Structure 1
Amino acid sequence: MARHDDRNWPTWTKMIGLLCLVASILTEHEASGQRVKVEPEVSSYPGQTVNLRCAFTDATGVQLTMVTWIYEPKDGERMNIAVFHPNYDPNYPESPVKGRVSFAQNPPNLNSPSIQISDVRMTDEGRYVCEYATYPSGNEQGITQLVMLAKPQNSASTVTVVAGTKPVVVARCESADGRPPAKLTWMTTANGNSTLVEKPGADNTVTVSSEYRMIPTAADNGRDISCVVNHRTQVKPESFPMKLTVQYPPKVTIVGYDNNWYVGRTNAVLTCQATANPAPYSVIWKTMSGIAIPETVQIKNNELKVLKVDESVNTTFICEVMNRIGTTRDQVTAIVREPPQNPSNAGVVAGAVIGSLLALLLVGALVAVLVTRSRRQQQGYRANGSSDIKTRIFGGGKKASKNGTGGGSVSGGVGGGNNNGPIYVYNEASSHPGLADKNNHHQPLTIGGRPEVVNTTPTAQDILLSNELDDVERRKFDELEEEERYDHFGGGDPILQLRPPHDQDDMIGDYMDDDMESQKDGSVISRTAVYV
Structure 2
Amino acid sequence: PFLRLISSTGVRSQVQTHQTVMGAVGEEAHLRCLLTEPKDVLQVTWQKILHHVDKNVATYNKFGQRVDPDFKDTVKFKVTELQNSSIVISSVTEHDEGCYLCLFNTYPEGAFKGRTCLQVCELHEPILHVRGSNSSEESLVSCSVTARPAPTVTLTVTQQHLYFSHYSTVTVTNANNTLTVTKTAVLSGLHGDGTQVGCAVRVPSGPQKEVFMNITEVKPKSTDGFDREAQHFSWKLIVLGVIMFVCVCVAAVIFKHAGNKRLQSLIRSPQKNRNPLDVYKSRALTSEYV
Structure with the bigger percentage of strand: 2
TM-score by length of 2: 0.45
Q: Tell me the TM-score normalized by structure 1.
A: 0.28
**More relative contact order, 1 or 2 (CA 8 Å, 6+ apart):** 2
Larger radius of gyration: 1
